[in-house]
Amino acid sequence: MMGHILAIDQGTTSTRAIVFDAAGRPGASAARPLTQIFPQPGWVEHDPNEIWRAVREVCAAVVREVGAANIAAVGISNQRETTVVWDRATGAPLHNAIVWQDRRTAPLCADLEREGWGAHITDVTGLLIDPYFSATKLAWLLDNVPGLRERAARGEVCFGTVDSYLLFKLTGGALHTTDATNAARTMLFDIRKGAWDPPLLERLGVPPAILPEVRDTCGDFGQTQDEAFGAVLPIRGVAGDQQAAAKGQACVRPSMIKATYGTGCFVVANTGDSKAQSANRMLSTILSQERGVRTFALEGAIFMAGATIQWLRDNLGLIAAAADSEALAREANPESGVYLVPAFQGLGAPVWDAGARGSILGLSRASTKADIVAAGLESVAFQTRDLLGAMREDMAAAGIGENDTLRVDGGMTDNVWAMQRLADILGESVEVAPIPETTALGAAYFAGQAAGVYGDDAELAKAWAPARRYEPQMAAAEREARYAGWLEAVDRVRSGRA
Ligand SMILES: Nc1ncnc2c1ncn2[C@@H]1O[C@H](COP(=O)(O)OP(=O)(O)O)[C@@H](O)[C@H]1O
Ligand SMILES: O=P(O)(O)OC[C@H](O)CO
């Protein structure tokens, strides 16, 4: 029985624990939803105490079910960028966590842009100046929580992403640590050197004493305290959730690529041992760090994927449940000419237009709710094509191999109509992950490799087989006509603001 791995997946909307066996099969699991706090428009916070309580509860539940003696190690995957500060002596949070979606630091980002930090940030951190990343969130906390900057300079305060906070709590305060994939999302980390970047720390007034130590993704992260959830267990893997999903999808060689379709969609491509320079404003980031060796990735995001379906459900009431979108899309008129551009928060990569707003175009007297729902699902396929085109251009320029088949996972991949349309609009095959919990599996793989439960990456790659494969069925002329219609629709909603 020994040889199970406990994976903790601390996501934006929920906290899960799943136990995987030595063959990578999921077993016992538990989950808790996470409260979303919106103190002002554009602000999003989480309560770190609630996150910690949920981690304790879900872990205690699965450890009870499986038995601590059967668990060889713990792995963690987490929502990235979300910023926590806590008291080093007591572990008490000093503010709510500022979530990755929070836009409150847009003015500071505009200052950094004006001061000409763009080239340095892209070169050193691989990122773009944006409130999305932790750096300006931390600066905001240091500026706005009374006394925080002074206490931080005295070494009394810890900063970290969610993994770091959880490691501190799980180990009873023994570790103030993060892993390289999470450090890479702070906009303070030099991803080539694998070190915090002094000029950025200085510009943002971040005292080095507040920063966590950065370790390999796969390795020693101490052990859980008995009080944490009733067992002392070694923690052996930590990764940001999108990097963990890439591991769970066995994207272990350069040019392998995955897309996770949840609320948003994150596309991550393995670019091997060098940081790719994007000509299309894609992000460069760390995919993993093992024995001090970093593997890099290109990443692009679609803000509204499953969230578009939520909007059709909650705001327009066109469907009762997300899954109903499939039956309705089948009733749509294939010639409707309706396009939905979900630019609710502007348009991301590769268009980058913050001022664009969502629109439904091409309506006629004959248009039905089925046409609008189908257009919502189809918008995810069109955006994936936009993103993939840009990423592959960057990968070709960097001399990274032939194009691998896109591997997909996440809630939306249950939708057969949407996945077939994705293959049709891309004009290439799409492979669905063997298990739905790809992110947790990736965390388990990292920990299980360090603990000797799983084989090396080549073995993981060999064991991977898709649950389902979609082949393009649409005629090329129809595909190109539809895509041209999408590009025209996007053009019509643009504001021209980057
Ligand atoms: N059958 C479906 N068809 C279309 N969208 C779906 C379907 N099932 C789930 N979704 C969408 O996927 C998202 C949930 O996926 P999940 O991977 O659980 O997301 P997250 O981890 O971001 O919360 C929701 O936004 C939901 O609208
Ligand atoms: O928690 P998720 O699955 O919504 O992922 C969030 C990402 O890590 C944000 O970068």
pLDDT, one tens digit per residue, over 438-455 is: 999 999 999 999 999 999
Nearest ligand to the C-alpha of residue 438?
1
Is the Cβ atom of 410 under 6 angstroms away from ligand 1? yes
Nearest ligand to the C-alpha of residue 132?
2
CA of 357 to the centre of ligand 1 (A): 22
Query: Structural domain boundaries of the chain?
Result: 4-241, 250-432+467-498
Q: In the predicted model, what is the mean pLDDT of residues 178-183?
A: 98
pLDDT digits (tens, 9 = 90+) for 154-167: 999 999 999 999 99
- Distance from C-alpha of 156 to C-alpha of 300, rounded to nearest angstrom: 36
Task: State the amino acid at position 310 in one-letter form.
Answer: Q
- Where helices occur in 184-273 by DSSP H, the ranges are 198-204, 226-229, 241-248
Nearest ligand to the C-alpha of residue 11?
2
Closest CA to 207 of 155, 147, 144, 129: 155
CA of 182 to the centre of ligand 1 (A): 24
pLDDT score recorded for residue 446:
97
What topology is assigned to 250-432+467-498 in CATH? Nucleotidyltransferase; domain 5 (3.30.420)
Closest CA to 102 of 36, 187, 44, 41: 44
The tokens describing 35, both together, are: 């409260």
Ligand 2 pocket: which of 9, 10, 13, 79 to mutate (most atoms within 8 A of CB): 79
CATH of domain 4-241: 3.30.420.40
pLDDT digits (tens, 9 = 90+) for 251-266: 999 999 999 999 889 9
CA of 133 to the centre of ligand 2 (A): 12
Task: State the amino acid at position 270 in one-letter form.
Answer: N
CA of 262 to the centre of ligand 2 (A): 9
Instruction: Give, in order, the Cα–Cα distances in Å from 266 to each of 243, 260, 294, 306, 383.
Output: 10, 5, 20, 12, 11
CA of 397 to the centre of ligand 2 (A): 28
pLDDT score recorded for residue 399:
87
Is the Cβ atom of 416 under 6 angstroms away from ligand 1? no
Nearest CA to ligand 2 atom 4: 12
Q: Is 322 in contact with 309 (CB distance < 8 Å)?
A: yes
Is the Cβ atom of 263 under 6 angstroms away from ligand 1? yes
pLDDT score recorded for residue 251:
96
- Where helices occur in 115-179 by DSSP H, the ranges are 118-125, 134-144, 148-153, 162-170
Ligand 2 pocket: which of 32, 44, 100 to mutate (most atoms within 8 A of CB): 100
Minimum-distance ligand 1 atom for the alpha carbon of 260: 17
Is the Cβ atom of 310 under 6 angstroms away from ligand 1? yes
Q: Is the pLDDT of residue 497 over 70?
A: no
Nearest ligand to the C-alpha of residue 314?
1
DSSP 304-326: -SHHHHHHHHHTS-S-SSTTHHH
**How high does pLDDT run on average in the chain?**
94
DSSP-assigned beta bridge partners for residue 347: 353
Q: Phi-psi category of 336—alpha, beta or left, where left has phi over 0 and alpha has psi -120 to 50?
A: alpha
CA of 439 to the centre of ligand 1 (A): 14
Among 124-128, 343-347, 370-374, 414-418, the range scoring the smallest mean pLDDT is 343-347
- Distance from C-alpha of 196 to C-alpha of 193, rounded to nearest angstrom: 9
Give, as one character, the DSSP assignment of residue 56. Answer: H
Is the Cβ atom of 322 under 6 angstroms away from ligand 1? yes
Nearest ligand to the C-alpha of residue 266?
2
pLDDT digits (tens, 9 = 90+) for 382-410: 999 999 999 999 998 888 877 789 999 99
pLDDT score recorded for residue 303:
83
DSSP 256-285: -EEEEESSSEEEEEEEETSPPPPSS--EEE
Q: Is 87 in contact with 145 (CB distance < 8 Å)?
A: no
Q: In the predicted model, what is the mean pLDDT of residues 487-498?
A: 84
Minimum-distance ligand 2 atom for the alpha carbon of 12: 1
Q: Is the pLDDT of residue 312 over 60?
A: yes
Domains 4-241 and 250-432+467-498 share a fold: yes
Nearest CA to ligand 2 atom 3: 11
pLDDT score recorded for residue 498:
59
- Distance from C-alpha of 251 to C-alpha of 269, rounded to nearest angstrom: 8
Is the Cβ atom of 81 under 6 angstroms away from ligand 2? yes
The pTM of this model reads 0.94
Q: Is the pLDDT of residue 424 over 60?
A: yes
Is the Cβ atom of 263 under 6 angstroms away from ligand 2? yes
Give, as one character, the DSSP assignment of residue 23. Answer: T
Q: Is the pLDDT of residue 354 over 90?
A: no
Q: What is the CB neighbour count within 10 angstroms for residue 439?
A: 31
Q: Is 307 in contact with 264 (CB distance < 8 Å)?
A: yes
